[in-house]
A and B are shown apart, each in its own frame.
Chain A
């Protein structure tokens, strides 16, 4: 057990290849479905709709054969913030209506309780939905799907190719950055660096962070330079038209899943209003 194991407790942002029904959907379909549902959750003002989305997220996790307990672990880190936010919402935005309980200027109303619960529900659905997305959509599928979805924009002269590749390189960097940060922090702690011991003013703390940040920065630069060289050596940009190894096929199931998810998205937004 160690305070230095950064990768642990990070369920968010991991890809879990379970080979489930959801994993087998066309990458483009998954991108559109997740975007539609998450968008609907974000704008929905319907109480029943949000409950529906929470139920759906759990059903989605089950369909994707992801252990529910593991997915719920990802909720733990943001939970205290969400609860504080919800409580603030309850008291700061009481609205009009019958006052159930009053203390000084704090008013507890049915409306306040309702908006607090809405906020909590919305964020839980969003976090679970995003977790489900990263569990079932690998970064390479995301890249390929984006590439194919955005290709029509390329005809308008937009640099879709380069933008998609930038996303890919960024995603490749995340696990590396975590590993690198872990190594740097361990190395400096071994020399007595006060990692995680917050003391002194902000300036002092910023100075304490330099030994961690500077090598991380330098290592990332070195790595970016090497990556650029390796890409160069393999002929990136030496030919006008890049091709792709993959070809995606939309099947009946993909259209079906797309239809169902649009219906559900509509339900999340409009049900009970």
Chain B
């Protein structure tokens, strides 16, 4: 039998006229059999999305051929058949919503196929029930959470009865609960016989596939089962990728537990394989809770906030929140979509005035009516999520100079300030100041956005999802620069779905759940509460998960283990007891 998808030596140029341009795909050949589950990984700009769009005929190869169940994608007559064979779920949930009502959105595809009304109704109901959104069928999509929207988008594809579904970074914009949900859905569809191909930046997600394809500069660099692909750490890093956390952790644990099997790719498999201690070892004492000390930089007391007050759409986003960040401290904010993190952030630079409660940052009392964001912005810098979406200048240097220019700096001082800000984020002034903003890579754009805020020389830096959408290498680089800023004495408040980021950047955490403070404390205190975090639909960092599992199996692991370095230290202490 012929494969479901066959790609034969395809090359794709974004612009055929421009011969000097690097092709987005260059001589790619591969086959996908029916029923496979394939992950596609690679750094930003490696050609993942371009490849995916060839597989359902959204893009046509400049050279070479793509066949979908034997149909050539370049022949227009094959198009309806190909589109209903290979469906696609995109990265940005809200961009895919075609209609103003959920069920109508799902019906869009079948309606396009010209199916009879009864058939459409049945398909829409079956698809919405499959993704668990049947109850929300009459709601407008823009009032759903990102995870729910992504499920509706998937239902819209399922209603086409495809044999294969492509997920183009479908989890990148979701919180941990949303990501877990989409991954579970992929596994279930795969068990039901649907072919799944997904692009991801998260290696722990790629490790769950049957086959991993690594792209690098438009070529297939690696193609094999996860065990083979994740065997060579050096090669992966040279391709701008990272190891799945479970594989890194297994390497570490094998020094103490040599009996651990070789093929541990996912956290679930690793946690299940951990051996129990032979004799009950005495557990270390839980240390007394520590409180933030030192001179206050940020003080929030009893803060509440209601959106759309006095309308039938009113909803409370924050309820009686207290927060204390000392000068030079670093506070992490955790919580799912809609937990109130962004609302709290926007209270800290006075975009929102406190409605009930008090907010005080540095010398400013935000309850004073004359204090506004215009005075505060030189003390507190807020970097929004996906800040590059707000760029408006052509050149990177001008974009960074915008804030200080409004402060009325003269030319030499302005130049000096921009140079300083660019150096702080690791961008060379001479090389980057005259670069077009839109030609920068994702990681470089994020650095420009950060430099644009740093150029105001704030004492407090607020970061909303600073690493969202970055590939592993850009993420690590950005974190390293933020750590340098911390050492330079800047106070940080970081919100992130990526617990590893918070583990390496912050020292205290505040967990928000539907507007309430659910947990508060040091990193160790919060991350060791694994059950409480899981109950709030949050994902503790891998090292904390392993530490918790080891404790449950009788090993004496201290509660302050939050990263692999800490885990290694703890393991070294009881390596004698293992054998």
Contact = CB atoms under 8 A, between A and B. Distances in A.
Interface string A81-116: 000000000000000000000000000000000000
B353 A1 contact: yes
Interface stretch (A37-45, A124-132, A150-158, A236-244): A236-244
B403 A191 contact: yes
Contacts of B90: 226, 229-230, 233
Contacts of B378: 192
Contact of B352 (A2, A17, A247): A2
Contact of B80 (A1, A168, A235): A235
Interface stretch (B237-245, B381-389, B469-477, B489-497): B381-389
Interface stretch (B66-74, B92-100, B543-551, B555-563): B92-100
B571 interface: no
Contacts of A70: 311-312
Contact of B112 (A171, A183, A237): A237
Contacts of B178: none
A113 B104 CA distance: 51
Interface in B89-140: 90, 92, 94-101, 103-104, 107-117, 120-121, 124, 138, 140
Interface in A205-250: 210-211, 214-215, 218-219, 222-223, 226-227, 229-247
B101 A233 contact: no
A191 B377 contact: yes
Interface string A1-35: 11011011001001111000000000000000000
Contacts of A139: 100
B308 A8 contact: yes
A78 interface: no
A168 B98 CA distance: 8
A232 B58 contact: yes
Nearest to B92: A226
B393 to A, nearest CB: 8
Interface in B24-60: 56, 58
A188 B390 contact: yes
Contact of B109 (A176, A218, A235, A246): A235
Interface string B402-431: 110011000000000000000000000000
A233 B56 contact: yes
B100 A168 contact: yes
B177 interface: no
A7 B121 contact: no
A45 B113 CA distance: 50
Nearest to B80: A238
B207 interface: no
Nearest to A144: B104
A78 to B, nearest CB: 18
B436 interface: no
Contacts of B505: none
A175 B346 contact: no
B348 to A, nearest CB: 11
B384 A190 contact: yes
B115 to A, nearest CB: 6
Interface residues of B, number: 73
B13 to A, nearest CB: 19
Interface in A139-175: 139-140, 143, 168-169, 171-172, 175
B160 interface: yes
B138 to A, nearest CB: 8
Interface string B387-401: 101111000000000
Contacts of A234: 83, 87, 98, 108-109, 112, 156-157, 160
Contacts of A219: 389
A218 B120 CA distance: 36
Nearest to B120: A245
B373 interface: yes
B153 to A, nearest CB: 8
A222 B313 CA distance: 29
A259 interface: no
A190 B454 CA distance: 12
A192 B406 contact: yes
Given A139-B100, A140-B99, A226-B90, A233 B83 contact: yes
Nearest to B124: A245
A138 interface: yes
B349 A190 contact: yes
Interface in A50-73: 67, 70, 73
Contact of A235 (B83, B107, B309, B310): B83
Given A241-B114, A243-B114, A192 B403 contact: yes
Contacts of B83: 233-235, 238
Given A233-B88, A235-B80, A242-B111, A215 B373 contact: no
Contact of A176 (B94, B107, B124): B94
B406 A193 contact: yes
Contacts of A14: 313
A263 interface: no
Given A2-B353, A194-B374, A227-B95, A186 B384 contact: yes
A235 B113 contact: yes
A189 interface: yes
A175 B142 contact: yes
A119 interface: no
A172 to B, nearest CB: 6
A172 B98 contact: yes
B161 interface: no
A187 B387 contact: yes
Given A189-B351, A191-B403, A192-B406, A8 B309 contact: yes
Contacts of A16: 312
B148 interface: no
B453 interface: yes
Given A233-B87, A245-B111, A190 B79 contact: no
B115 A190 contact: no
Contacts of B99: 140, 168, 172
A138 B406 contact: no
Contacts of A189: 351, 373-374, 377
B100 A239 contact: no
B123 to A, nearest CB: 9
A75 interface: no
A239 B83 CA distance: 11
B298 interface: no
B111 A243 contact: yes
A244 B117 contact: yes
B548 to A, nearest CB: 38
Given A210-B392, A230-B95, 5 more contacts: A2-B352, A15-B140, A73-B310, A140-B104, A218-B389
9 contacts: A1-B353, A140-B101, A188-B390, A190-B377, A230-B98, A233-B88, A235-B160, A243-B116, A246-B104
Interface of B: 56, 58, 79-80, 83-84, 87-88, 90, 92, 94-101, 103-104, 107-117, 120-121, 124, 138, 140, 142, 153, 156-157, 160, 307-313, 346, 349, 351-353, 355, 373-374, 377-378, 381-382, 384, 387, 389-392, 402-403, 406-407, 452-453, 456
Shortest 8 CB-CB distances between A and B: which pairs?
A226-B95, A214-B392, A234-B109, A230-B96, A245-B107, A238-B80, A235-B112, A191-B403
